[in-house]
Amino acid sequence: MLHEINSPVENQIRNGRPRGDVRGKNQLLPRYWPRITDQELQQISGDSNSVITPLFEKMLSASDAGKVGRLVLPKKCAEAYFPPISQPEGLPLKVQDAKGSEWTFQFRFWPNNNSRMYVLEGVTPCIQSMQLQAGDIGN
């Protein structure tokens, strides 16, 4: 039988370049709050003086880790941590995990009922490599 995919994803976004990013929108749901501690961020950051913004922690669902490689991104989190995108194509997002591995995902959204559904594409290799557990840092 298939076991459900309940792996928490610890993501951090690394902002080495201020680009109108909005930090301070820390009003996400408690379920999405990153479990990472500030010390961890410091460790990940290393000797770099780049600004690290902790991302969210999401429970991967069947579709998220499916062969399609599509990971559904909660709207609250997406709008809070990622820059507002007006185009469905979105933009390529470079992500670095705590291990130092870099992954590139396609951050885009689909038109939904009255809102937009944010999705992360290209997560298959990443998930596959880290066995459904990822601590990522976006640049």
Partner DNA sequence: GCTGTGCATGACCGC
Partner DNA sequence: CGGTCATGCACAGCC
| Binding interface with DNA (CB under 7 A) | 58-59, 61-64, 67-70, 72, 74-77, 88-89, 108, 110-115, 117-118, 121
Tell me how far, at minimum, the Cβ of 71 lies from DNA, in Å.
8
Tell me how far, at minimum, the Cβ of 84 lies from DNA, in Å.
14
Tell me how far, at minimum, the Cβ of 26 lies from DNA, in Å.
16
Token reading at 139: 């640049």
* Rounded-to-5 percentages of helix, strand, coil across the chain: 20, 35, 45
> What is 39-69 written as a DSSP string?
HHHHHHHTT---EEEEEEEEE--TTTTSTT-
- In whole angstroms, give the CA distance from residue 35 to residue 57: 7
Q: Which is nearer to DNA, 86 or 115 (CB)?
A: 115
Q: Which is nearer to DNA, 110 or 129 (CB)?
A: 110
Q: Which is nearer to DNA, 51 or 74 (CB)?
A: 74
- In whole angstroms, give the CA distance from residue 90 to residue 32: 22
Q: Which is nearer to DNA, 39 or 86 (CB)?
A: 86
Give yes or no for a contact between 110 and 134, defined as CB atoms under 8 angstroms apart: no
Tell me how far, at minimum, the Cβ of 39 lies from DNA, in Å.
29
